[in-house]
Amino acid sequence: MGQGKSPSAGKGKPWRKRLSILLIASLFFSLATPAGYAQEQEEHLQVIIQYQDDIPEEPTRFGWLNVPVYDNVKDMENLNVRTASVPVSEMASLLADPGVLSVEEAVPFEFHETYPERFSGIGGGPNDDAPMWHNQMIGAYDAWEDGFTGEDVKVAVFDSGFFDHDDIDYAGGVSVIDEETDFTKDPNGHGTSVAGVIGSLPGTEAEGMASGVDLYGVKVSHQDEDGNNRVGDTSHIVQGIEWAIEEEMDIINLSLGWDDYLQNMHRVFQSAADEGILIVASSGNHGNDEGTGENMVYPAKFDEVIAVASLDPDKERAYYSSTGPENELAAPGGKGRGFQSEQIYTINNENAYSYMSGTSFASPHIAGLGALLMQRNPDWSATEIRQYMIDHAEDLGEPGRNELYGFGLASYQPAGDEPEVPELIYDGPLEIDVSEGASFEIPEVSVSHSEDLDVRVSLFDSDGNALDPDTFSTDIPGTYTWRFDAEDEAGNQAEPLFITVNVLETVDEEPPVIIYDGPLTFTVSYGAEFFLPDVTVEDNVDEDLTAEVMIQNEAGAVLDVLDTTEPGTYTLTYTAEDSAGNEAEPLVITVTVEEKEDTTPPELVYEGPTAITVAYGEGFTMPEVRVTDDTDEDLLPTVTIENEAGETLSAIDTTEPGTYTLTYTAEDSAGNEAEPLVITVTVEEKEDTTPPELVYEGPTEITVAYGEGFTIPEVSVTDDTDEDLLPTVTIENEAGETLSAIDTTEPGTYTLTYTAEDSAGNEAEPLVITVTVEEKEDTTPPELVYEGPTEITVAYGEGFTIPEVSVTDDTDEDLLPTVTIENEAGETLSAIDTTEPGTYTLTYTAEDSAGNEAEPLVITVTVEEKEDTTPPELVYEGPTEITVAYGEGFTIPEVSVTDDTDEDLLPTVTIENEAGETLSAIDTTEPGTYTLTYTAEDSAGNEAEPLVITVTVEEKEDTTPPELVYEGPTEITVAYGEGFTIPEVSVTDNTDEDLLPTVTIENEAGETLSAIDTTEPGTYTLTYTAEDSAGNEAEPLVITVTVEEKEAPSFSDVDERERFHLEIRYLAGLGIIGGYTDGRFGPDDVVTRGQAAIMIGRALGFDGEQRETSFPDVGMNTTFSGFVQEAADRGIIQGFPDGSYRPDAPVTRGQMAIFIARAFDLETEADADFSDVSPSMQSYSAVRLILHENITEGFPDGTFRPDNDVTRGQFSAFLSRTLNEDFRGMD
């Protein structure tokens, strides 16, 4: 609805969510670039900067040059706000400025109308005798009857501009738009229609509801170069607010909005409200038929702004009206659907009338109502006016304030018809101080009203939390707010009454007292039960205080409990402290715990054996015995040592064998004796450590014949202690096996090891006797063992291993055979070489240790002849590249084959042409390259390396020249400036195809040219030549082209009555401008951007050759493509932000001035100015430059009219005066 919400409309994001806006200069000028220069534009952001305090000086750079950093700077001193176009590269330093409170990017806004239908002239609106329903609903007719029209109230309408309609007067206004400085320009029409709702003059067809106001227009949007007429953002609103504060506006109406919360904008509106301005805004057109959801916009959502919802003639919410909790009031805004009579009738920007709808037209009804009330109540503040409208609003929808209608329909109430409003009566103080804990009674408040009304009481703490008034207590210090309300049956509410109650905290300086009437000293028997004495605490403020008790022993250590099994003196210290920190006088009680009476004897504790045996001379430690006692600690036993003779010893000597008695006793401090403990210690006799000795007088090495009888030698044992000891003998063979006896039929060496051990375990030195059983005599030969074939065939060169043969023997083990290798010649070899074919004999023999020889073993090995793997070789001594003349005889080259095995091999030859086709022979009448591939293969299948010979058959010799073919005239006459195409000439040849001629162009001076310029009269010679591939040249063809002299052009619509006829003819004669195909020039037609590029380009001598351009909407084939691109390359023109050139768009007089100033490098500005060209305009400098050169004098009324489109006649005048001073100063 309204203007239609684009995806980006109203989306405001702080700089920290960085957005980019690329600012690109317009066609002929740049925002910050002087005329005549081109400058690469840095990316900028339009931002709103909120400063902590005063706005600082504008930053500059480049030292003393003082070049401004920002563009489009506007400072709002009342708001401490600056709006500016800031380079992205400067944002970091701006945000780091400690004086900057915050920076936000400006966002676009939208208007809120939905139903624009226009009627021209009188009579298109409602019946003249019938009141307009919306003025009637808002109560305008009643206000007029009471004599109120808003007189002397200053109302500012922030909008698209304000057309100077016959039915409205403006007290003044301002445009904050640099592109449109006149606030009365309203190409959109929205602002005019909104202003008409408030201030159309009395008696006019669409009379405004407050026609007597001083109406001011604040233009915050404009129409851009693309024709968009709703271009504006929040930075413009900020500038407008500053103006409204400066001009002391009473009311501001904003029928516009954006989506997101902007903190800086909120501060701006807070500042305006603080100045006492009543601010009204439309809530938005984003609602739905169901009236659900929160879809309102800012600034209506700000607390400082009255948000206005829209009603239809039936006082129902218009389907489009936005909903949300911020809606405050409702007013007529039109149904948006249905009949014209259900919409808002108002003026438009065509000096006529329109039916409109939208919250855009509900908002000015509330602004107008505010003006009527301000006139009626000149002493009321904006806050009082706002509250009055709320208090007197007609409740709509759900009772009370709701998201669809706010408080309801606001309207003018005649003074005599105002409803009775309840009034709260209270003559007490509005702030009451009460001591903590003191009694308190709710203040008595009554109601003044014809009805018997009750007063509603609410209670809140300092955090705004609601409390129950009936349970209020002064026990908790703090600030409490009592709210009193009253409402009659009609819903009229009294002005709320607020009473503040401060519950003050009581200061307590009196300490508590510890109460105790018992003894201060106690004596307690050992182990007796003892309870800490009870004490109480009394305090003048705190109740239920208890004392803390600290228990300390004689050493001053603090204990958790008093243990009566620990005799000694204990101190109990009682303390107490109240909530104010006052400490009571400590109470000290002494408790003495008596010593315990002891009758229990101690006890000896020992867990070891009572009979101990100790080896002779072994170390011995007295057994450890502990003493336990129920009273004494650290008691030690007494021990007595006695030997067998009853003698008391100081220690046990373990070198003295015998029995010793250890008697342990103990006595406690009370004289109680423990039961004695007796431990017996036996020291053994001394140990035997002398080993026995083996006695043997025979030999220790004995040889026994095979099978001879053998008796184990006899060995005896002697010992210093034991008698009759016998030795032990162990028999082992060579393998280390233990035997029970020596078998003399088993030759070998046997070991007899004799040992002996006495009763004390002492072992004798072992005795070893070696017995050798001789071998039996051996007569049996060994035997060769082989299980493989005795005839073996081996391939030539194959690996071969001598067959493995083993040897068995009844006597010897590990015998190995001996092998002899012989060839067919009987020669003995060390190995078989399988690269030597033939038969080899392997003879194996073996002999045992007794000299017995085995039966020889013979194996025959045959090595086969070698296999043929060597390929044959092609032999050719001639060239491998042969050239043959066309048609000449040709013989296939002869190639032979050699092989190490086969004889008489012949090669095979394959013939292929360039196409890869196989041929049987080479035809020398077919020019081209042929490939002869020779191959050969021997009987073993080995292939020779192929041989390739290339044969080139030459082309037939060409001696016939080509011929130029042309059927046109050889003398051509061309009119001046007429298009001319080089005549087409073809070439024929008996050999070559697709030959093209070469053409040379010469002028009369003999100069060679690339083309004929038909704007240069004269005779030109075109000479065509051609040459075939054999170098044969065609007979040249000469064509003469005569370009006629130029005839001064004439146009059917340009005669001496045309103001600029001389300038038009002058430029036409120079070829800078031309007419239409119908013979007209069109002096009153506007100049398009494409035409401007051509004409300026021709004046500057551009060649205009068509070419690719950097603009997507200027194709290479357009007539002006070359002129546009060259002008762009020279920095004279630029494109639009979307990259387009828009060649069909018109050029204004201001743009034309900039264009000429840049193109012709004008440098000096005139001192005089035109009344409608201000320094803030982009064309200001350029206009002064052409004024200084007398290229323009402007209009008789002193204006230049920079926004007017330039006609072709005016363009001719500008350009002629620029090129020729004779035209300057002409009328």
Contacts by residues 291-295 (CB-CB < 8 Å, ≥ 24 positions apart): 291/317, 291/323, 291/403, 291/404, 292/323, 293/323, 294/323, 294/324, 294/325, 294/403, 295/322, 295/323, 295/324
Contacts by residues 787-792 (CB-CB < 8 Å, ≥ 24 positions apart): 788/859, 789/859, 790/857, 790/858, 790/859, 790/860, 791/859, 791/860, 791/862, 792/859, 792/860, 792/861, 792/862
Contacts by residues 706-714 (CB-CB < 8 Å, ≥ 24 positions apart): 706/744, 706/745, 706/747, 706/773, 706/774, 706/775, 706/776, 707/744, 707/745, 707/776, 708/744, 709/744, 710/742, 710/744, 710/771, 710/773, 712/741, 712/742, 712/752, 713/752, 713/769
622: nearest Cα among 666, 656, 664: 664
Among 112, 134, 165, 190, the one annotated catalytic:
190
DSSP 89: G
896 given a catalytic annotation: no
704: nearest Cα among 656, 752, 645, 649: 752
What whole-number distance in Å separates Cα of residue 690 and Cα of residue 725?
Answer: 14
Cβ-contact 1111, 1124 below 8 angstroms: yes
Among 360, 363, 411, 1121, the one annotated catalytic:
360
Q: How buried is residue 632: exposed, middle or buried, by Cβ count under 10 Å (0-12/13-18/19+)?
A: middle
405: nearest Cα among 324, 342, 302, 494: 324
Cβ-contact 783, 808 below 8 angstroms: yes
Cβ-contact 1124, 1133 below 8 angstroms: yes
The identity of residue 710, as a single letter, is F
Cβ-contact 1012, 1043 below 8 angstroms: yes
CA of 118: how far to CAs of 54, 125, 1225, in Å? 48, 10, 46
Q: How buried is residue 183: exposed, middle or buried, by Cβ count under 10 Å (0-12/13-18/19+)?
A: buried
Among 75, 159, 250, 899, the one annotated catalytic:
159
β-pair partners for 673: 667
What whole-number distance in Å separates Cα of residue 410 and Cα of residue 406?
Answer: 10
Pairing of strands 521-524, 587-593: parallel
β-pair partners for 771: 702, 750
The identity of residue 781, as a single letter, is P
- DSSP letters for 484-542: EE-B-TT--BPPPEEEEEEEEPPP--PPPEEE--S-SEEEE-TT----PPP-EEE-SS-
Q: Hey, what are 948's tokens? A: 């390739």
190 given a catalytic annotation: yes
> Which residue, chain included where needed, has tokens 């480049």?
62
Q: Hey, what are 1105's tokens? A: 């050759």
Cβ-contact 817, 856 below 8 angstroms: no
Pairing of strands 881-884, 947-953: parallel
Count of all residues that appear for the chain in the document: 1227
β-pair partners for 71: 85
Question: Measured in whole angstroms, how far is the alpha carbon of residue 269 from the centre of its chain?
Answer: 35
Cβ-contact 330, 308 below 8 angstroms: yes
Helix (H, G, I), strand (E, B) or coil at 1212: helix
266 given a catalytic annotation: no
Pairing of strands 431-435, 497-504: parallel
For 427, other C-beta atoms within 10 Å of its C-beta total 8
- DSSP letters for 324-375: STT--EEEE---SSS-GGGSEEEE-TTSSEEEE-SHHHHHHHHHHHHHHHHH
- Helix/strand/coil percent split, the chain, to 5: 15, 30, 60
Catalytic residues: 159, 190, 360
